Amino acid sequence: MTSKVHVQATVIGWLKEDAVLKEVGNGYTVCKFCLKAQKYDRETKEKKIVFLDCDIWGKKAEKLRPMLRAGKYVQVVGTIESFKYVTINVQDITLLEAKKEDSHPEPEAYETPPEDLF
């Protein structure tokens, strides 16, 4: 018996390109976009860029698509559907204030952030 694992994810980043709306049959609509985020590697003490594919389904997809433009700074909350090829199935998205792509919010997980973190 196989059980599906749901991993909740919250990611803040920038849209790599304009979101695309697609009809997938039976009246279902999906809005697809790629999120560009910064990740801190504790071992190498370097910032790395990661790209995460995201999907929003249904009426929310249709309403949000015009606002999801390249370079838009957003926070997404969703579940990771696969660990081989990560796609976040978005449940909630927050459009954030404009921010330069080379800046990043201070991480809350560290008690004392390393000086060279960002």
Over residues 102-112, the pLDDT tens digits come to 555 544 433 33
- Flag whether 39 is in a domain: yes
- Flag whether 118 is in a domain: no
Q: How far apart are CA 103 and CA 2, in angstroms?
A: 41
Question: For the whole prediction, is pTM greater than 0.75?
Answer: no
- Flag whether 80 is in a domain: yes
The answer for 59, left when phi > 0, alpha when psi is -120 to 50, beta otherwise, is: alpha
Written as one letter, the residue type at 4 is K
- Flag whether 32 is in a domain: yes
Instruction: Indicate the number of domains in the chain.
Output: 1
CATH code of the domain in which 80 resides: 2.40.50.140
- Flag whether 2 is in a domain: no
Degrees to nearest 5, angle at CA 30 with 56 and 17: 75
pLDDT digit string, tens, across residues 2-45: 556 678 889 999 999 999 999 988 889 999 999 999 888 888 88
- Flag whether 113 is in a domain: no
Sign of the alpha-carbon dihedral angle for 10, 49, 84, 23: positive
- Which residues constitute the domain of residue 86? 7-95
